[in-house]
Every structure is written in C-alpha cells, then in structure tokens.
Amino acid sequence: MKELNAVYKCRLCGETFRTFTVGESIANRILLSLELKDLSLQRGIAGGVTYEQCTHICHDNSLGIADFLGFKMEEKPKEFINEELEDDG
C-alpha cells in the first residue's frame, strides 16, 4: 500500500520533518488545491486553507515556521499490512 508523508522544513533550525500521512488521491487533491491557490492569487482572488506552512518547535524550544516541501512516497511493508488486518478481526 502506498502512503505519502507531508514533508516540511523549518526556516529557523533547518530541520526536515513529517506531519501527516495520506493516500495518493488525497495528496493529489492537496497539490491541486495549492496550484489553484497560486492561480487565484495571480488573479487577485483570496485563497482558502492550505498546507503551505506550519509552526515548528525547534530542539532548543524556539518557535519556527516550516514550509511545505511536498509528499514523500513510502511503500508499506506487506507484513505490516497483514498485521493490521489481523488486529482488526
């Protein structure tokens, strides 16, 4: 099963981290909404909620802003998927 992890990078400390995991179709929708937001800003139309930035607590407890870099695809190991199915029932 393919999973995509949202990857961000903190502007203050430079740490790269993951925040949430989605399937391929949801990731494509999020990327499309970001593209549409870019188009609407170019035309002067206000955009909605996006995933472009998030806050980040750095290792020294400083507060930074992290930028969305994209979705990193990871393949779930088959045995992990089987374990999840066994746990359900």
Domain ranges of the chain: 2-88
- The pTM assigned to this predicted structure is 0.63
Quickly state the pLDDT bin for 83 (edges 50, 70, 90). Answer: low
Please say whether the dihedral angle defined by the alpha carbons of residues 22, 27, 30 and 31, taken in this order, is positive or negative.
positive
3-38 confidence digits (pLDDT tens): 888 899 999 999 999 988 888 888 888 877 777 666
> Residue 24 half-sphere exposure, CB side, CA atoms within 13 Å?
5
